[in-house]
Amino acid sequence: MTRPATGLIRSWVESANAPGCDFPLNNLPYGVFSTTGGAPRCGTAIGDRILDLHGLEQAGLLAFSGDLLTGGWNAFMASGRGEWARLRRTLTALLREGAEEAERLAPHLVAMDEARLHMPFEVREYTDFYASLHHARNVGTMFRGPENALPPNWLHMPIGYNGRASSVVVSGTPVRRPCGQLKAPEAAAPRFGPSQRFDIELEIGAIIGQPSDGPITVAEAFDSIFGYVLLNDWSARDIQAWEYQPLGPFLAKATATTISPWIVTAAALEPFRIDTPPREVPLLDYLLEPGPMLYDIALSVELTPEGGTETVICRTNYREMYYSAAQQLAHHASSGCPMRVGDLLGSGTISGPERDNRGSLLELSWGGKEPIEIAGGSRAFVEDGDELTLRGHAEGPDYRVGFGACAGRLLPARG
Ligand code: MN
């Protein structure tokens, strides 16, 4: 493994060296973009530009067996860890300040604000977890009281459910308020109508880059994760409350799941590895981590009403998770469940100990009873026209590794 950089790696793309830039040369996140009239292609973000990797491969400036000519990163992920490291090494050398190739590469840079970003990979299957202790305690306290907040299994395993890959959309895609069966506690029977308690969940998604067919260790799981995206698991709380027993969430979570367009690689996050918080009870051996496998990533959520100004409604950190993505993946595979390249694992809502660390409106407004104040109004749940934007970055001494925005606007229910 290459030693992580300890400071900003300067690039000849000047905007990449600016303080606070999400995409310095230390990052090199992978996405898929198109420009007017062109087909979607693989690229990497550098400063306020996108380097067209498809173009570089066609021009003979990069040689990766044609993997980057496709409109997604699945084929490249499948090519293995050796190739992951080789591409990162190659791009770092090509984009470094003083690189001889600068002149030949410059025509392959595209202004990010003139490009459209697409799904960076094809989601094979999608699993979502429930792995932040603060979130589980908050939600459990609301639904079952403080004595029974945590289910008896919670401290022993990362609890998850199988979601819908078809629901995953890229940042910027509008989300339609869902309809479903709703039943107020005092009502004798359910009715069918638009969800009145539509919510967000601030999460990080881990992307599986190497397949497995049988149990794997936590260390192997860590090594098979290609990278991470921000993930908003839109959730209809009223549909969920009526449908979830006994098999867990179903349609409440199947409307849409928004991800950020840039895959921030595990390699870029390497300097920001940290341990999971102390265990409240010892874990079974197959879930033990041999080293730090969580990351220090500052996260926030902005809410912007239609025509209004934004309010930051949550600030938290990925380090609050009780289980890392590597533990979740090892648990997932422990039964023999085959895992595939392009599988997406949602972390679960990321909440911290303070009120403004809560990663969902359900928690922020305490079940809708304590609406939060926003610029020009208040919110218990998401209203039509609201845009929700997740942001995240890891902070180095003089640079950051950012995720860009993960945004979606809520459209009114059909009909
Ligand atoms: Mn979730």
Q: Residues 182-234: pLDDT tens digits? A: 999 999 999 999 999 999 999 999 999 999 999 999 999 999 999 999 999 99
In-domain check, residue 5: no
In a domain, 1, yes or no: no
> For residue 4, what pLDDT band results from cuts at 50, 70 and 90?
low
Same domain, 95 and 181: no
Residues 375 and 285 grouped into a single domain: yes
CA angle 276/279/282 to nearest 5° reads: 125
Whether 99 and 159 share a structural domain: no
Whether residue 193 sits in one domain with residue 270: yes
> Per the structure, how many domains does the chain have?
2
Residues 148 and 284 in one domain: yes
CA of 204 relative to ligand 1 center, distance in Å: 10
Active centre residues (catalytic): 135
C-alpha dihedral, 370 to 360 to 261 to 325, nearest 10°: 160
For residues 8 and 398, is the Cβ–Cβ distance under 8 A? yes
Residue 4 lies in a domain: no
- 153 CA to middle of ligand 1, Å? 18
Q: What is the CATH number of the domain that holds 301?
A: 3.90.850.10
C-alpha 113 – ligand 1 centre gap (Å): 30
Sign of the torsion formed by the C-alpha atoms of 265, 266, 268 and 272: positive
CA 242 / ligand 1 centre spacing (Å): 17
Q: Which residue has the tokens 């090892």?
A: 330
Contact 218, 289 (CB under 8 A): yes
- Pairing state of beta strands 41-46 and 49-52? antiparallel
Three-state SS at 169: strand
Q: What are phi and psi of 236, to 5 degrees?
A: -95, 100
Same domain for 309 and 175: yes
Domain that holds residue 404: 126-411
Same domain, 217 and 313: yes
Interval between CA 92 and ligand 1 midpoint (Å):
35
Say yes or no: 300 and 330 in one domain. yes
Which neighbouring-strand residues pair with 400?
Answer: 395
List the structure tokens of 53: 């990797």
DSSP-derived letter for residue 95 is: H
Tens-digit pLDDT profile for residues 330-389? 999 999 999 999 999 999 999 999 999 999 999 999 999 999 999 999 999 999 999 999
Do the bridges between strand 126-129 and strand 400-411 make them parallel or antiparallel, or are there none, so unpaired? Answer: unpaired
Question: What rounded mean pLDDT belongs to the chain?
Answer: 96
What's the gap in Å between 128 CA and the centre of ligand 1? 6
The Å distance, Cα 227 to ligand 1 centre, comes to: 19
Please calculate the CA angle 133-322-242 and round it to the nearest 5 degrees.
Answer: 45
Q: pTM of the entire structure?
A: 0.97
Residue ending a domain, among 73, 97, 118, is 118
Q: Give residues with Cβ within 8 angstroms of 354, minimum separation 6.
A: none
